[in-house]
Chains A and B, each alone.
Chain A
Amino acid sequence: MLLTVDHVTRYRYDHPVRGVAQSHRLTPSIFDGQRVLSWSVMVSDATKGAQFRDGAGDALQSWTVKGPVSVVEVRVRGTVETHDLAGVLRGHRESVPPDAYLTDTPATAADLALRDLSAAAKGTEGPLAAAHALAGAVADAIVYRPGVTEARTTAAEALALGEGVCQDHAHALIAVARAAGLPARYVSGYLFADQEGAAYEAAHAWAEVYVAGLGWVGFDPANRCCPDARYIRLGSGFDAQDAAPIRGVARGPGHEALEVSVTVTETAAQAQSQQ
């Protein structure tokens, strides 16, 4: 598919701040399932800073904005050609060993209930089947419902509530996978919504589980599937905070209000036949 993203994030400060520093993971990953045709990230009145690819394979870009400033706008636009690899992250270069993703964070620590849920992996044949079983168990245990949880909700809290959004599904899957001895991580990206009206957030998140012999494989419990051509992958981390597409701090006492709009549309694929 050819997917076009238009993603605007606006930070408003009620008192002008002295400066803003941000670190972005806002560039699509490089792997066999996606190819960038055009991509730009613009930050209002900002200076470009450090740029590099980290050990997890993510492209990072720093920005700074000199104050006094009341509004900072981050605008991401671009088109990506995607292919369905049934969730397998094929051809992705990274140097962090999978075992590093067995480490818990507060958001993904498994409590007793999550440990119980991880029993879904028992009796399955091999890690791939186990991961599928775990993703299914998480989807059953946490019903998609926006507005119940917040950014800081942990996997354990979401499971106790029985409701949540994609972030909660991903955290819960990571927690149960690690509890079952499988390395797992949080992935942030975009999702193209189809007309089915299924659970969906255009700014999306899912989890990847490491399957020996196959590598990292994506699972999206929120949509009961593995990422396919409708997904664009940006970056990964231990949890939502670690994998955040934008991390930033403002210097100054101002209170920050956030507005986000994301659209992902399908573009007619007239150029594809020339490839």
Chain B
Amino acid sequence: MTTYFNEMYQASSSGKSVRPPYARLEDWMKSMPAELRHMKQAEAEALFRRIGITFAVYGEGGDPDRLIPFDMFPRVFTSSEWSRLERGIKQRARALNAFLVDVYGRGEIIRAGRIPSKLVYQNAAYEKAVAGFRPPKGVYSHIVGIDLVRTGPDDFFVLEDNCRTPSGVSYMLENREIMMRMFPDLFRENRIQPVEQYPELLRRTFASVAPDKCDGEPTVVILTPGHFNSAYYEHSFLADLMGVELVEGQDLFVEGGFVWMRTTEGPRRVDVIYRRIDDAFIDPLCFRPDSMLGVPGLMDVYRSGGVTICSAPGAGVADDKAVYTFVPEMIRFYLGEEPILQNVPTWQCGKSDDLKYVLENLAELVVKEVHGSGGYGMLVGPKSTKDEVEAFRARIIADPGNYIAQPTLALSTTPTFVAEGIAPRHVDLRPYCLVGERIELVPGGLTRVALTEGSLVVNSSQGGGVKDTWVLAE
């Protein structure tokens, strides 16, 4: 029987005791009878609906208008827990950017034999079009979303890195906003570090990477694929909070080596574009010629230093599932440091020793296809029948190089409001690290919670919800 780390309660001589970060929440919890709780929950839902925040996180698909369940029970970190996480996250964000500068530059890490050339240069996310070009301040990934899970008091593992345009930060901001509105007393009793500065930090991050050709205050815009996109709400929300224009491809044009925005007062030069459009669609003259979402000629302006694109085209080569395995190596290679946050141990079935281990322990492991995503073509050993495990064994043996295996992680739980009252449910965490002239991290992130009892899957398409994430002041 696997034991799961409960972030609120720990075993003690008297049965169980409350861990310090949650100390003041126990009274709050007890002060809420079921009726009040139901009322509050309905109130929260009404608030979310009024704001209109109803989009799917992480491109999970599903109904984009569906409200993601919000759980009122906050997830809490102490400042010392957070400061270690913060150092680990910033370290990782620095290494990932150093890797991108390197692979589009001299490729030292490949020459040194620390990562296979094929994994990088034949990667679908590698963009030959930007080889040799160094973006302003050497930053490729301006917002690094790092997905973390916890398995013990001091044990955190990185599940994956998101270097392109990680979504979900609007939930971090909205969850806090709504908690403060509904439970102002909680925020007086607990010293919770704010997250509301995130939009301003994001704007400053973008401004700090404006191209050299920009004179004066940089003009920043958010480029969205349009209102049919599942994260459109977030695009408009962030534009609003940053005080910048939200534009679509047709609102921008290229002339004389610069990008211009059509406005009622005539064209206005744009210096930094936070694009929420994939590389393949941002410029039909450089990438997919049939794209109607992008700006023709944008990549030429970018590569001649007339505009900055965030994240930089080509940044995706750092967050690939196979490249992930090498992030600890990147940290050692570029920073000369030991990784503060651990990767999930991964066995490459293409290696004979690893394959042997995987086949011997198949029923305990999670096995994934190297290029799979969204949980397809995947085996969760402990949750599968004997037949399913055996069928998967045959597939691995037929094509070992196509599979990686990881241990089934014992995700931590936090108390969560459920129909029967309060019960532990499994959670993960996505903080958003900002990289510009400086590296910034607001104390918090998006906590996703698996609302189904026993479930380890936090995806909203499979019954996941979200929580406010607190980091306490010292």
B interface, how many residues as a size bin? Answer: 20 to 34
A-B contact count (CB 8 A): 104
**For residues 6 through 32 of chain A, which have their beta carbon under 8 Å from a beta carbon of chain B?**
19, 21-23
Q: How far is the CA of A64 from the CA of B306 in the complex (A)?
A: 15
In the assembled complex, which residues on chain A have CB atoms less than 8 Å from the CB atom of B257?
A: 48-51, 62
Query: Known: A49-B255, A64-B255, A99-B121. Contact between A21 and B132, CB under 8 A?
Result: no
Q: Which of the candidate stretches A74-82, A84-92, A129-137, A241-249 sits at the interface with the other chain?
A: A241-249
**Contact in complex: A19, B300 (CB < 8 Å):** no
**Contact in complex: B303, A54 (CB < 8 Å):** yes
**Contact in complex: A62, B300 (CB < 8 Å):** yes
Query: Known: A55-B131, A60-B300, A97-B121. Contact between A49 and B254, CB under 8 A?
Result: yes
**Contact in complex: B131, A100 (CB < 8 Å):** yes
Contact of A95 among B132, B297, B303 (CB under 8 A): B132
Q: How far is the CA of A100 from the CA of B303 in the complex (A)?
A: 19
In the assembled complex, which residues on chain A have CB atoms less than 8 Å from the CB atom of B118?
A: 99, 102
Query: Known: A48-B256, A99-B118, A249-B284. Contact between A62 and B297, CB under 8 A?
Result: yes
Nearest CB in chain B: distance from A62 CB, A: 4
Q: How far is the CA of A30 from the CA of B330 in the complex (A)?
A: 35
A212 an interface residue at 8 Å Cβ cutoff? no
Q: How far is the CA of A253 from the CA of B75 in the complex (A)?
A: 54
**Contact in complex: B122, A50 (CB < 8 Å):** no
In the assembled complex, which residues on chain A have CB atoms less than 8 Å from the CB atom of B133?
A: 54-55
Nearest CB in chain B: distance from A11 CB, A: 14
Q: How far is the CA of A56 from the CA of B300 in the complex (A)?
A: 14
**Contact in complex: B129, A49 (CB < 8 Å):** no
Nearest CB in chain B: distance from A82 CB, A: 26
Closest to B303 in A: A52
In the assembled complex, which residues on chain B have CB atoms less than 8 Å from the CB atom of A47?
A: 255-256
B117 an interface residue at 8 Å Cβ cutoff? yes
B304 an interface residue at 8 Å Cβ cutoff? yes
Interface string of A187-219 (1 = CB under 8 A from B): 000000000000000000000000000000000
B439 an interface residue at 8 Å Cβ cutoff? no
In the assembled complex, which residues on chain A have CB atoms less than 8 Å from the CB atom of B424?
A: none
Nearest CB in chain A: distance from B108 CB, A: 12
**Contact in complex: B297, A99 (CB < 8 Å):** no
**Contact in complex: B306, A95 (CB < 8 Å):** no
In the assembled complex, which residues on chain A have CB atoms less than 8 Å from the CB atom of B289?
A: 241, 247, 249
**Contact in complex: A249, B296 (CB < 8 Å):** yes
Q: How far is the CA of A95 from the CA of B303 in the complex (A)?
A: 14
A261 an interface residue at 8 Å Cβ cutoff? no
Contact of B122 among A54, A60, A103 (CB under 8 A): A103
Q: How far is the CA of A56 from the CA of B306 in the complex (A)?
A: 20
Q: How far is the CA of A19 from the CA of B260 in the complex (A)?
A: 14
Closest to B250 in A: A251
Nearest CB in chain A: distance from B141 CB, A: 19
**Contact in complex: B285, A21 (CB < 8 Å):** yes
Most chain A Cβ neighbours within 10 Å, of B117, B256, B304: B304
B30 an interface residue at 8 Å Cβ cutoff? no
Q: How far is the CA of A254 from the CA of B126 in the complex (A)?
A: 35
In the assembled complex, which residues on chain A have CB atoms less than 8 Å from the CB atom of B128?
A: 55-56, 96, 100, 103, 238
In the assembled complex, which residues on chain B have CB atoms less than 8 Å from the CB atom of A94?
A: 132
B323 an interface residue at 8 Å Cβ cutoff? no
In the assembled complex, which residues on chain A have CB atoms less than 8 Å from the CB atom of B130?
A: 55
Nearest CB in chain B: distance from A7 CB, A: 20
Contact of A55 among B132, B297, B304, B306 (CB under 8 A): B132
Q: How far is the CA of A54 from the CA of B313 in the complex (A)?
A: 14
Besides A51-B304, A99-B117, 11 new A-B residue pairs in contact (Cβ under 8 A), listed by A number: A52-B300, A54-B132, A55-B128, A55-B131, A60-B303, A62-B285, A94-B132, A95-B131, A100-B126, A103-B121, A238-B128
Can you list 23 pairs linking A and B with CB atoms under 8 Å apart?
Answer: A21-B253, A21-B254, A23-B285, A49-B300, A50-B254, A50-B257, A50-B297, A51-B257, A52-B304, A55-B129, A56-B131, A62-B257, A64-B255, A64-B256, A95-B105, A96-B128, A97-B121, A99-B122, A100-B121, A100-B131, A103-B126, A238-B128, A247-B284
